[in-house]
Chain A
């Protein structure tokens, strides 16, 4: 028991938050230059989107990289109305909330049940059964799933969120069971002796301990559901219940599209996750890294 306890702390500490301050050793300026040049590949398209989104159509001739001289804020209000931003954002947020909460709670619970009953055949084979399905890509089952979700009347954002939860179940259960195995059973046993029911042990003792892995699963769940295009575009039958990425296709089809308004709309669609990331970047990066180490 003590052995599992020690490995637990070791693995949990494996991903310490990176120190942002450069080490006191000499700075490698050649590496810094290369990395700085590489970062331009990320930044230039973002700069381009912002510059285009701010310009008037008259200013956007040529390559479009020129710095905006007179700013047309109306691009944003036009885009806002054209794609009905509030409605699409509401749908996206709804799907993201259900997917994040569902993925964290459902896979944490299932993983705990599996990890603590691995000597029981039902639990053991359920684990292998779910893992075996990890390699089913969405396109493979998409055609049958579109009919199935329509038949049971969940061809809507809730159905999309449910499918996100289920498609991520194998990976999430893998992450959670690996993490739960590092938590000593003695903790749960002592809470049982103190009179806790298994429910209470899970909600009061186990789940709080899963915090770091719940963060990891939650981040993946958010990024996967918020940015997805394929699943909502195929599953949601009602076009007015589409997510933020999907509604951007109004600009793609029309030749007469105002590209400045289109870029403003793309920027509005990208902004929430980029801003959220900039504020919580250390949390996000360490969370994703924790998923990678497993």
Chain B
């Protein structure tokens, strides 16, 4: 990385007395351009360009090869009327909102628990964060066996006995469970980071003013954690909307299409010649992601201010 001029003393720029002040006005050095531009170019080529390509072909009848022509909004209109696609949106939204709420509530409790005066705190933290480092796909293969074979052998009645992953009514709960299992550490860590920014003195002051544990939790901890609730829900929702790995491992979208997420529908369009059609679907998904993120940010920061 170092250039030749770096090592030869003769190549060094002669230090000028006003160098420090002048540097500000000098503008970017060549090195700055070399550090910035290659990543920006690669980023544009591999991420932004495909996004525009996708948007472009979504207005055509392109099947992935050969000739194509513009067909306007036909793909979008057809996608909106497609029961499969409509179902994948309902499932994904239902799943993502449920899981976001479950994960954030549980993570909040766990973070407060791990931050309280418990014994073996370090050990418990270690255990609670293990799911963060394992692959969602591999974990869901294990859970698939648990749900399909082990639990039906233990629980003698109800959907758990017949295997929840094989029931089109309950399979989504299995996906919620495993996703929660895997996402809890990430959300918990964000809350723990939030708790560590709260000065212990405020609790002492509250205690002196006669606040008990529950009250200081409600009126001190929760309001002070509000910014972290926002980060957490936005990050969780965005992640869960793109659910893929865990569903592949647990149900592969089944039974039938009961747990087919939007991502699964899009990717399944690969081999079927539905290329442009699924591109239209992915553009709608993109718009949905942005709208939801922005709406969520606006909503949460407003409630936070009240």
Enumerate chain A interface residues (CB-CB to B < 8 A): 14-16, 18, 20-23, 25-29, 31-32, 34-36, 38-39, 41-43, 45-46, 48-49, 52, 62-65, 106-107, 109-110, 112-114, 116-117, 120, 122-123, 126, 129-130, 133, 135-149, 162-163, 166-167, 169, 186, 189-190, 192-195, 197-200, 202-203, 223, 226-230, 234, 244-246, 248, 251-252, 259, 262-263, 266, 269-270, 273-274, 276-278, 281, 284-285, 288-289, 292-293
Contacts and interface: CB of A to CB of B under 8 A. Distances in A.
Give the most central of B116, B127, B136, B269: most A CB within 10 Å.
B127
A70 B165 CA distance: 31
A147 B28 CA distance: 37
A85 to B, nearest CB: 13
A189 to B, nearest CB: 4
Contacts of A22: 117-121
Interface in B97-117: 110, 113-114, 116-117
Contact of A142 (B19, B113, B129, B267): B267
Which 7 pairs of residues, A with B, have the shortest CB-CB distance? A20-B122, A144-B50, A198-B31, A109-B35, A227-B135, A113-B32, A139-B263
9 contacts: A15-B193, A20-B123, A109-B35, A136-B51, A140-B54, A141-B282, A262-B141, A273-B133, A277-B133
B130 A46 contact: yes
B119 A112 contact: no
B290 A234 contact: no
Contacts of A199: 1-3, 6, 31
Interface stretch (B41-49, B72-80, B166-174, B216-224): B41-49
Given A32-B119, A39-B124, A166-B46, A62 B142 contact: no
B13 A197 contact: yes
B46 A245 contact: no
Chain B contact residues: helix, strand, loop or mixed = helix
B216 to A, nearest CB: 14
B76 to A, nearest CB: 15
Interface string B185-201: 01001101110110000
B135 A245 contact: yes
A38 B146 contact: no
* Range, interface on chain B: 35 or more
B110 A202 contact: no
A41 B28 contact: no
Given A112-B35, A113-B33, A270-B138, 14 more contacts: A28-B116, A31-B118, A35-B110, A38-B113, A45-B139, A109-B39, A130-B40, A133-B47, A189-B20, A190-B20, A202-B35, A230-B263, A262-B141, A289-B193
Contacts of A248: 137-138, 141
B47 A202 contact: no
A270 B131 CA distance: 10
A166 B293 CA distance: 21
Contacts of A63: 149-151, 153-154
Interface of B: 1-3, 5-6, 12-15, 19-20, 23, 27-33, 35-36, 38-40, 42-43, 46-51, 53-54, 57, 64, 110, 113-114, 116-139, 141-146, 149-151, 153-154, 181, 186, 189-190, 192-194, 196-197, 228, 231, 238, 241-242, 244-245, 248-249, 252, 262-263, 266-267, 269-270, 275, 278-279, 282-283, 285-286, 289-290, 293
Given A45-B143, A147-B64, A289 B282 contact: no
Contacts of B14: 195
A31 B15 contact: no
Contacts of A137: 238, 241-242, 285-286, 289
Contact of A32 (B48, B118, B252, B282): B118
B2 A140 contact: no
A126 B128 contact: no
A292 B193 contact: yes
Contact of B131 (A42, A122, A226, A269): A42
B129 A139 contact: no
B190 A29 contact: no
A152 B54 CA distance: 17
A140 B135 contact: no
A274 B267 contact: no
Nearest to A186: B20
Nearest to B20: A189
Contacts of A223: 132-133
Nearest to B9: A195
B85 to A, nearest CB: 14
A135 B289 contact: yes
B56 to A, nearest CB: 9
Contacts of B290: 135
Nearest to B150: A63
A63 to B, nearest CB: 4
B142 A45 contact: yes
A252 B249 contact: yes
A270 B110 contact: no
Contact of B27 (A65, A117, A162, A277): A117
B286 A136 contact: yes
B121 A20 contact: yes
Contacts of A244: 135
Contact of B150 (A18, A64, A142, A252): A64
Contacts of B128: 38-39, 42
B244 A266 contact: no
Nearest to B241: A137
A122 B119 CA distance: 54
